Each structure stands twice: as C-alpha cells, then as structure tokens.
Amino acid sequence: MDLLGIKVDPAKVAGGVWWSIWREPDGRIGGKAVDDPGEGPALLIVPALTAYERALDDARRPHLYEIREGKANDAMLRLIQGQALGRAVLRGWRGLVVGGQPLPWSEDKAVELMTEDAWLSLREFVQSAANWRAALAAQEVAKAAGN
C-alpha cells in the first residue's frame, strides 16, 4: 500500500476546507470541497479531530450528571453536538443569507445555527463534511503544483 494515497495536507487539517454549497431539491444541502469558493455560498469546515473532541468535552461538562445517569435526552445531545460543531468545525462562511439579509460570520452565530433544530440540514451537512477525509488529500495540492 502506497501511503501517499492517504496523506493529508496539514494546512487543510489546521485551517479547514472551503465547501461550495447549494440546496438540493429535497431541501438538503449539497456541496463539494473547493480550493477557491468564489462568490457563491460556501462554508469553511475544519475536520472533526482533536479540537472537535475538546469542544465536545466542554459542551458536555454542564450535563455530565444527566449523561452519566442515562438521563440525557435527544434534545440535550443535539445541543451538545451543535455547540461543538459551531465552536470547532464550522469556522466561516460566505454568501449566506436569511430572509434576504446577509448573514455575517461569527462563532456565536455558528453555534446558534448548529444548535437550532430549524437548521438541521445545515448541521447535517457540516457534520458530514467534517468527516469526509478525501477533502484533506495532500495529492490535490501536489496536482495543483504540477508535481
């Protein structure tokens, strides 16, 4: 097995990957990893690694009793996961609007979007993209450099 086939780009691991996004006919969000998001709507997503795990630990802390006692309900678990996604995974966006109004980036707004059930499609996309290792491939960097 040639390990070059699984090598990742450290800059993408640390800084994230831009994803050009669109709305699918069924209401889900579709997207693809891009080097330059251009002018269209795009999300900056950091892979779910150590920072995400730390953010999950922080989000769980106020709920440890309920979690340990098996009393954590689905809403609490979604809140915990959403807080971690908003703080450690969704690190920026471009071209997003709500009701025709531009949505400026902030970590607080990212947490809000990741924790509110109304934005389920967005949360599902962010979670899926954060786990898609192919977006981190170093070979794409090498191809772009002509190697």
Is the overall model pTM greater than 0.95, yes or no? no
pLDDT for 132 equals 85
DSSP class of residue 13 equals H
Average pLDDT over residues 90-112: 96
Phi then psi for residue 48, to 5 deg, are -75, 90
pLDDT for 63 equals 92
- Nearest to residue 48, comparing CAs of 128, 122, 140? 128
- Nearest to residue 85, comparing CAs of 63, 65, 112, 66? 112
Lowest mean pLDDT segment, chosen from 7-16, 28-37, 80-89: 7-16
Helix (H) or strand (E) holding 76: helix 74-84
Average pLDDT over residues 108-131: 95
- Cα–Cα distance, 97 to 44 (Å, whole number): 16
- Taking only the tens place, the pLDDT of each residue in 55-65 is 999 999 999 99
pLDDT for 138 equals 60
Question: Where does the pLDDT of residue 43 fall: very low under 50, low under 70, confident under 90, or very high at 90 and above?
Answer: very high
Per domain, the residue ranges of the chain are 3-144
- Cα–Cα distance, 144 to 50 (Å, whole number): 28
- Nearest to residue 45, comparing CAs of 79, 78, 14? 14
Q: Is 147 helix (H, G, I), strand (E, B) or coil?
A: coil
Question: Given a cut of 50, is residue 141 above it in pLDDT?
Answer: no
DSSP class of residue 6 equals T
Question: Given a cut of 50, is residue 131 above it in pLDDT?
Answer: yes
